[in-house]
Amino acid sequence: MDDSNFRAMAAEIEGLLGIDCTRHDGLGFGTRAVHGYGAVADGTGSINQPIYQTATFAHPGLHRSTGFAYSRCGNPTVLELEDTIAMLEGGCKALAFCSGMAAISCVVKQFSAGDVVLVSDDLYGGTHRLFQDVYAARYGIEFRSVDFSDLAAVDAACAEAAHTDGRLKAFFVETPTNPMMKVADLRALAERAHAHRALLIVDNTFLTSYFQRPLELGADLVVYSGTKYLCGHNDVICGFLVIRDEKLIERTFMDYMSEGDALSPFDAWLMLRSLKTLPLRLDAQQGNALALCEFLKTHPRVTNVLYVGDPDHPAFELSRRQASGFGAMISFYVDSPMRAERVLERVKVITFAESLGGVESLITYPCVQTHGSVPAEIRERLGITDTLLRLSVGIEDVTDLMNDLDQALR
Ligand SMILES: *Cc1c(COP(=O)(O)O)cnc(C)c1O
């Protein structure tokens, strides 16, 4: 599709070229999450957006269109989800993908061989694999690991990248990081990235727009694994890309529909349903996490607890400044590798499973599972050892979670 076609098509579909950011001004986050963006109406008064389970759309006549043509390029259920996500994040446009990795891949495709991207040293394992084994190994994009929680290290990495003749194109940041819970100062990073004409890209999976809005802090793009907190029920794999500047919409949309990574209408509908309870779920999960953090800190078999909501966490004050919540991810060290193994085998209420963010509490063993594809020496340097466990706190009764951890640790 050439540029004029894109413009013609986009003009037909409200929201395709960006949402009206003022549409629900004055309403709170919870109200907007419940009601959604609401641009695609079917005229029946249905409270919920229907599932438009269709591959294609009839044209009323030659050169006339309903605004929709083919569901890889645009579907009313998916568009309502995208508009709602963009509105909640404070962006002008969102794209919904069939996985978080597909969204991240779309972002990386904006770069070319020889370009340099600074990335968190403590990245989600799947992202690390996509960057190194696919885009570095086969497409020549260079990814340099940086500890974004250390601004002096960021400045040093930028100074080094200055020798690449303007090939420094972006910072790709997770905050808090997974599983080490390091926090990056997003405002300070936006200043530094923009001073080098680089983009600031933030993976906001852990906190979501309910607790943290990176675009308001200066980021250019936000990516998500929507599979985690945004979904919250461990029943959909999906991802999002949220864009701040309208100039970036066209190219990313081009890649999205050319490659065919769009989310299905049914999954989009499940996600719309999930978003309605996002604030309730996150408040409940965070409440449980705060209580479990206190419990774990005093447990005799636990040697260290990493939670950004812990006043002893080095970035507690920074978190309070740039986010309105701490989330519900806790990492903790136990006194031996054998203990870690036993906890995984003995938990009963908590489930030993990968993933995070859902209403069910899950526990994982990062060194083997989520970070198994990160080289051993990097894991060791970061502290992802064989005594580290990662807990995604759900909404169960907190005493049941405490009793379960206690019996598993003893
Ligand atoms: C899970 C996850 C991803 C990958 O998303 P999928 O939906 O599994 O493809 C990316 N980033 C973070 C921080 C994640 O936790």
End-to-end CA distance of the chain: 62
Distance (Å) from CA 228 to ligand 1 centroid: 7
Which two structure tokens, joined as six digits, stand for 314? 């080095």
For residue range 211-257, what is the model confidence (pLDDT) as tens digits?
A: 999 999 999 999 999 999 999 999 999 999 999 998 999 889 989 98
**Residue 185 predicted with pLDDT over 80:** yes
pLDDT at residue 16, as a whole number? 67
pLDDT at residue 369, as a whole number? 86
pLDDT at residue 284, as a whole number? 98
pLDDT level of residue 5 (50, 70, 90 thresholds)? low
pLDDT at residue 4, as a whole number? 47
Q: Is the CB of 123 under 6 A from ligand 1?
A: no
User: Which residues belong to the active site?
Assistant: 72, 124, 203, 228
**Residue 12 predicted with pLDDT over 60:** no
Q: Of all residues in the chain, what percent carry a pLDDT higher than 90?
A: 81
The span from the CA of 143 to the CA of 376, in Å, is 18
Q: Is the CB of 370 under 6 A from ligand 1?
A: no
Q: Is the CB of 237 under 6 A from ligand 1?
A: yes
What does the mean pLDDT of the chain come to? 93
In residues, how long is the chain? 410
Q: Which atom of ligand 1 is nearest to the CA of 227?
A: 7
Most ligand 1 atoms within 8 A of CB, residue of 203, 225, 329 to mutate:
225
pLDDT at residue 163, as a whole number? 80
pLDDT at residue 13, as a whole number? 58
Segment of 63-72, 241-250, 398-407 carrying the highest mean pLDDT: 398-407
Cβ pair 53, 266 in contact under 8 A: yes
Which amino acid is residue 10, in one-letter code? A
Most ligand 1 atoms within 8 A of CB, residue of 122, 204, 205 to mutate:
205
The span from the CA of 350 to the CA of 22, in Å, is 42
**Residue 14 predicted with pLDDT over 60:** no
Q: Whose CA is nearest to atom 9 of ligand 1?
A: 100
What mean pLDDT is predicted for residues 198-220? 98
Distance (Å) from CA 312 to ligand 1 centroid: 28
Distance (Å) from CA 12 to ligand 1 centroid: 33
What mean pLDDT is predicted for residues 34-46? 88
Q: Which atom of ligand 1 is nearest to the CA of 103?
A: 9
The span from the CA of 160 to the CA of 163, in Å, is 6
**Nearest to 211, CA basis, from 278, 275, 290, 310:** 278
Q: Is the CB of 360 under 6 A from ligand 1?
A: no
Most ligand 1 atoms within 8 A of CB, residue of 97, 177, 204, 228 to mutate:
228
**Residue 3 predicted with pLDDT over 60:** no
Distance (Å) from CA 344 to ligand 1 centroid: 22
Q: Which atom of ligand 1 is nearest to the CA of 123?
A: 13
Q: Is the CB of 101 under 6 A from ligand 1?
A: yes
For residue range 72-122, what is the model confidence (pLDDT) as tens digits?
A: 999 999 999 999 999 999 999 999 999 999 999 999 999 999 999 999 998
pLDDT at residue 8, as a whole number? 52
User: Residues near 232 by Cβ (< 8 Å), separated by ≥ 6?
Assistant: 274, 277, 278, 281, 357, 358, 359
The span from the CA of 68 to the CA of 73, in Å, is 8
Distance (Å) from CA 31 to ligand 1 centroid: 27
Q: Which atom of ligand 1 is nearest to the CA of 355?
A: 1
> Which has the minimum average pLDDT: 92-101, 160-169, 248-257, 383-392?
160-169
For residue range 268-313, what is the model confidence (pLDDT) as tens digits?
A: 999 999 999 999 999 999 999 999 999 999 999 999 999 999 999 9
Give exposure, 354-391, as e/b (b: 16+ Cβ within 10 Å). ebbbbebbbbbbbbebbbeebeeeebeebbbebbbbbb
**Residue 1 predicted with pLDDT over 50:** no
Strand order in the sheet with 329-334: 302-306, 329-334, 388-392, 362-364, 351-352
pLDDT at residue 191, as a whole number? 98
For residue range 310-361, what is the model confidence (pLDDT) as tens digits?
A: 999 999 999 999 999 999 999 999 999 999 999 999 999 999 999 999 999 9
pLDDT at residue 90, as a whole number? 96
Distance (Å) from CA 223 to ligand 1 centroid: 9
Phi, psi angles (nearest 5°) of residue 169: -110, -25
Q: Is the CB of 208 under 6 A from ligand 1?
A: no
Which two structure tokens, joined as six digits, stand for 4? 């004029």
Q: Which atom of ligand 1 is nearest to the CA of 239?
A: 7
- Report pTM: 0.95
What mean pLDDT is predicted for residues 373-392? 90
Q: Which atom of ligand 1 is nearest to the CA of 127?
A: 10
